[in-house]
Structure 1
Amino acid sequence: MLLRLIKYPLLTLGIFLLTACHSNNDDDLCCAYPVTLQGNWSLTHVQGGFAGVDDTITHGLIIWHFNTETHTVTVTNNNTDDTILYDGLESGSYTYDIVTENDAQYLHIQSNDFGRLAYTAFQLTLDGNMGADGFLLTFKR
């Protein structure tokens, strides 16, 4: 009888502590990891193109660093794998602009359209109209 009296309050306390510590607030995640283009993005996947490319790229092999103040992207492309048919830009610094049309953003690098830009705190995609032989580039933080 004494065990039963102790067991239920402990169970109630345990459930309370578990639910009190859990946060369902997405704002907490957004504040800890702001949604910004600024910083390093690692090219991790390329698909599309005339040849039907579908390549996964090792994280950190190709880095695009966006500087939103100077509108430059600095690319460090260390890919030496010839089986990867398209790996974006060569190493170097490039100027970029973001053009907004019909509530969509498009990334232009050195005046070349790289496609529709979409990003979260952890992932960036450039959709160069894959349906018309363009490439879909996926980047991760």
Structure 2
Amino acid sequence: MVLLLLSLSCNQNDDTPQNDESTLHGSWSLTHILGGLAGVNDDFETGIIVWDFNDNDHTINITNNNTSNVIHSGYPSGVYNYEVITTANDTTLIIENTELKITSLTTHQLIIDEGYISDGFQYTFSK
């Protein structure tokens, strides 16, 4: 009886491969900006500023609907070309000749950093 219960409680899809690969492709909402000379530390509601990465043509469609009075809210709305360069030490996101370091990329969070200690910005996104 115990064997029967154990076999029935097992999920038949346990061996199905999960798609947990982290990728830039898709829409990311900017949720936080930190840094800059003025010490920016601003949160944004999901969906206010969206970066939509298209892996096929290597473009980002940025929609920046921020109307709050903040010092910096990232790139203005528009379509930008991008490239990703991965080395043994780090991964760099290049947007229109501007280099940004990808410091974290998971299936649900992206953190990129301009890499300037005193006046650069760090952008946190959620998917």
Length-normalised TM-score, structure 1: 0.74
1:59 positional shift: 0.7
* Match of residue 77 from structure 2: 91
TM superposition outliers: structure 1 runs of 4+ over 3 Å: none
- 1:85 CA displacement: 1.2
Residue matched to 1:79:
66
Structure of greater Rg: 1
**d(CA) in 2 for partners of 1:34, 1:108:** 21
User: Is 1:116 the equivalent of 2:101?
Assistant: yes
Aligned: 1:45 with 2:32: yes
The RMSD of aligned alpha carbons is: 2.4
Alpha-carbon separation, structure 2, partners of 1:100 and 1:34? 16
Alpha-carbon deviation of 1:37?
A: 0.9
**When you count helix as a share of all residues, which structure comes out higher?**
1
Confirm whether residue 64 of structure 1 aligns to residue 51 of structure 2: yes
Q: Sequence identity, in percent?
A: 39
Structure 1 range deviating more: 46-55 or 122-131:
122-131
What is the letter of the counterpart of residue 44 of structure 2?
A: I
Matched residue pairs, number? Answer: 119
Shift of 1:32: 4.7
Q: Offset at 1:129?
A: 2.0
**Unaligned runs of at least 5 residues, structure 2:** none
